[in-house]
Amino acid sequence: MAKRRATITAVGHYVPDTILSNRDLESMVETNDQWIRTRTGIVERRILKNGATSDLAAGAALRTLALRGITPADIDLIIVATISPDMFFPSTACLVQEKIGASNAWGFDLSGACSGFVFALVTGAQFIENGTCSRVLVIGADKMSAITDYTDRNTCILFGDAGAAVLLEPAANDKEGIRDHILRCDGSGKEALYMLGGGSLNPSTHETVDKKMHYIYQDGKAVFKVAVVGMADVSAEIMEKNHLRGEDIAWLVPHQANLRIIDATANRMGIDRSKVMINIDRYGNTTAATIPLCLSEWWTAGKLLPGQNIVMASFGAGYTWGAILMNWSAPTPGKK
């Protein structure tokens, strides 16, 4: 009996209108456009002035459902990958469920930092594969501006706000959809990328606010050193495991944290940059939203086609990292 597989049938994204450019940052901190472009590949990022992560997620969810031609009431489950929830509880998934009117869905949040979407996609796929759900919304959304210190030039240049969602449904056959995944974490990386304040370890106080413990902290050099190897290795590993070579992969969909890490991953896989989805220049690092945001833009542009093999790869705080191998099956919107 063929295995029931999960596949992506639609993708949508939502980004705020406000643009924060490198030139804007030059007036805020000691940095410059050339320095940022050279080291990260970022030119601008989007900032949500009014609203929260659930608004980004809900906007992306509604666009995804519209492209699929179904209603929120058709959804069984909502999974939101985020590290910037509206609040600790209720979950952002509950808030999205109410905002979009998904009256028949249950849901939960998943915290995997920049690997959150990859972790959530694999998690959502399990509910499709075991037959308990038929339609699962997996959303990556983060309002990183809410936890970014705009006096810290090491981090404020990196992050932007966005939400993106995919709809998972059963694949038509066992050759389509999510084929394999490799997920990993290593808690020894906890000292290199974190937000100390606000949790049970350091509850919110005047002291934690004064010490800026509610902002993201990153040791950029330490994270880069591990990420540039980890994301590349896991991407190559999933290809080797499935007996694939560079020419067998149509697209690498990497987490958009740093252009040098993306290039290293493509080189390790034997893939030309023309087969790599890159939009870090326009959005920066939107954490859990980066991979589905790429998928949404390439799919609606008609560049992501049925039958193509794609590899999604990520690396984030924790450390967390992973890769997914998928055979794309959704036709370009407006085509059958």
The phi, psi pair for 41, rounded to 5°, reads 90, 5
Angstrom distance (rounded) from CA 293 to CA 9: 15
Task: List, edge to edge, every strand of the sheet that includes 309-316.
Answer: 177-185, 320-327, 309-316, 251-254
Task: Note if 114 is an active site residue.
Answer: yes
141 touches 288 (CB < 8 A): yes
Task: Note if 285 is an active site residue.
Answer: yes
Helices (H) and strands (E) in the chain, counts: 10, 13
DSSP 261-312: HHHHHHHHHT--GGGB---HHHH-B-GGGHHHHHHHHHHHTT-S-TT-EEEE
Task: Write out the two tokens for 321.
Answer: 């990292």
Angstrom distance (rounded) from CA 313 to CA 139: 16
Task: Write out the two tokens for 3.
Answer: 């295995």
255, 258, 294, 327: the catalytic one is: 255
107 touches 170 (CB < 8 A): no
22, 258, 285, 327: the catalytic one is: 285
Count how many residues are written for the chain.
336
114, 133, 156, 294: the catalytic one is: 114
Cβ neighbourhood burial of 334 (10 Å; 0-12, 13-18, 19+)? exposed
Angstrom distance (rounded) from CA 89 to CA 100: 18
Angstrom distance (rounded) from CA 163 to CA 308: 24
Task: Note if 243 is an active site residue.
Answer: no
Angstrom distance (rounded) from CA 332 to CA 303: 8
DSSP 62-119: HHHHHHHT--GGG--EEEEE-SS-SSSSS-HHHHHHHHHT-TT-EEEEE--GGGHHHH
107 touches 97 (CB < 8 A): yes
Q: Which amino acids are annotated catalytic? A: 114, 255, 285
